[in-house]
Structure 1
Amino acid sequence: MFPAILKTVIRTGSLRLIDGAGRIHGYGDASPPYCTVRLRARHLNYTLALNPELSIGEAYMNGLLTIEDGSLYDLLEIAAKNFQNFERVPWFSLLSSVMRRLKQYNPIDRARGNVAHHYDLSGQLYDLFLDKDRQYSCAYFLRAGDSLETAQENKKRHIAAKLFLDRPGLSLLDIGSGWGGLGLYLAEEAAVEVTGVTLSVEQHKVSEARAAAAGLADRVRFQLRDYREVTGKYDRIVSVGMFEHVGKKNYNEFFTKLNGLLAEDGIAVLHAIGFADAPAPINPFIRKYIFPGADLASLSEVFAAVERSGLNVTDVEILRLHYAETLRHWRERFMANWPRAAAVYDERFCRMWEFYLVLCEIGFRFRSMMVFQVQLAKKPDVLPVTRDYMVNWERARRQVTRRPMRASGGAHVASRPRHQCLRSKADFTAGGGSFTRSAGSLQQARWS
């Protein structure tokens, strides 16, 4: 069954399959990429045909599908370039239609378990492929030669610019605060008061230790709780890489909660993975083995929920290939450290992790995955009317020489002295732009 289906599907690229009975099949148009795959069990000739998006990853993870020539990347690139042809197979078309109707339900207890499944893995694993600050989300590459560390620093700066941190002492809520890097960065850069919330026990423990080591425990507090349990009002809210775990059924609840937590003149920035086309389910392998309970949104789903919440969308940016590059860095680092990862877990885990990293990179390069950053506010007039303030803030911060700060494992990453933090709206004027250095009301500054 599976070899016959591939004959219908694979039109571009060059795939050679050695099936479970040892028979050799060739597919494609003889163009690159090239890959030879061996199935090491007869039953795979049939089981791979039932749900290939799930079962191919399982077979690779279990060592029953091996790459004889080329690489896993080549195999998944061929699959991605021929993905639209899967719709020609009636069974796949029906399965796809059913999966599109699934919407994740994510109550708090289940959310905690889902987070623990991934984020409470050994810190040694994450140290093998993440940057020193453990930024586990899309980096921002200003130049082709940017290192992962530089690009992750760019990402934090880019998000900070969109938060419009125009005065010290702002209260900021970080929903899904990870290992604390973004919260600590914002506290250092703009003298804001940060409250971070996470459901990961390990991330919470590391975050608190980092805040204490940086001497910021008085201004940066991390809590082990669900965002739905948070109360109070915040001048700024940021959420990076957490919306993927909300679940489609809970989008209305998420944005309604944001509206309730945001001060009247508050601003929020949401950074998340999504689809650039119609709504669809997350890959079943990723959902089962990597991020249980996860889902990806299309902008049509996000905007509909935002509209119902009463919030205003004040800015949107699509980061196209930035996550593909981020994942390339992660994949290359992980593959270089494979023996160390296998020593922490085992070879099967390493193959699972490799499949996850390659699959996601392929999704951003050749399919419809992208990252969106949405800026939200209760009132449309709380921000300057042009985007110059973002550009000016980033330019000014890139020019600052930074000193070391303690990272998650005691290493040092970029930071800066507190006395150099932004202190006035004049800081947004560096390089010229939408803010004026002259005295005047904030309203006048917004229109200048």
Structure 2
Amino acid sequence: MDDLWLLTSPSYFGFEGINPLSTWFCYDKTRSLILVLLEVHNTFGERHVYVLKAGVGEDHTRPEGVDHQWTFPRQFHVSPFNDRSGYYVCAVSGSSHPQSVYPNTPLPTIRLDLLTSDRQSKLTAITRARTSEPLGVSSLLTTLIQHPFLLFLSLIRISYQAAKLHYTKRLDVYPRPEPISPDVSAEKSYEAVANPPQEGEAIGAGVGWQPEGWIHLRSKARVHEFLEARSKTMNLTITLIPSNPIDVRRTYNATDLTTRTLIIHYRSPLLFVLLFVLPSPTHTLLLGSKAERLFTVSDEELFLEVFEPQPRTRISGTQRFRKWCLPTTLPPGNLSSPPVNALDKDMMWDLEAILVIAGYYGMEWIERALYRIFRARFVSGEEPWNGWKRLDRRRVPEQSPGIGSMRSGP
């Protein structure tokens, strides 16, 4: 690769607004296009890159005037009103190297057609460069004056269209799934998830995850501290493998030669939060792994053994708070709770644990309340706060093929 050009909507003094797509054009030393990178963004701050190679996997036929065209399966959650099934058809025009045709610089156009899983047309989006001029004082000042209005107008327009689709067209909201891991072997370790990506050869992966909040960071720190000591007392090796490539892969080794190993693949740092806020590792395994598919373990019995608390007869105040926050009826009716959580430092009242528990359930309550106030709707059975119900019975949302999650009636 010798040169790289970017077609995007720039940020304005740090404010990026809603920028669905940034397109990177990669050229070799002969100024020939070799790669097109589609960097797709969603409103959750996540990013996914589709890697399109010039001359590789292109469609056999393409419209007149189109330089390159690819059809590939969808993997990333963008619109809340669509699942991740279906295909993209990406058509690129005007992709010649800018300096190779100077002074008539090209004006690239990116056309994306969204197809359903049976390859029926569903939506078309076009990004095109209308002008191309060198950056100077005049053009810079014009951009600085005009750009903030364009950013805020885009935000208003998208919000208006979203409200129209939800309240007028009756399209329900799909909850946000975790991005696809760039580690293919790690991705294969996960079980089937709700809102799965389209089957087919993946040509990209997630490159941007949501930033971790205070609750995630404190829970993660507590789990890491616990596993550091636990691996030595139990004389075993514990490996944590995240989907997020920016996150650190951690391995805790015992001092002696070990024969037992526990490997945990996780999609989200919510794993650490569940270990901290739920009463037992059994609760975490059922909700986080079986119901929500957030993580997998190499050995379930060893996982339960690692996070099993020390024997105790009197229940702690922190554990009482955990049990009080749980739903009154859990699907496994005989699911019991130990007197303490293995991560607690104080045997009666762990202030940090109480703050994390209150924060976790408080945010869940606020989210649920806001949806009720605005009468917003998730796809039936996929509400974020109904994980325990999904464990008991996975519901299939009513869908209209090719349209999304349509609800009939009032």
Shorter-chain TM-score: which interval?
A: under 0.3
TM-score by length of 2: 0.26
Question: Which of the pair is proportionally richer in helix?
Answer: 1
- Larger-gyration structure (1/2): 2
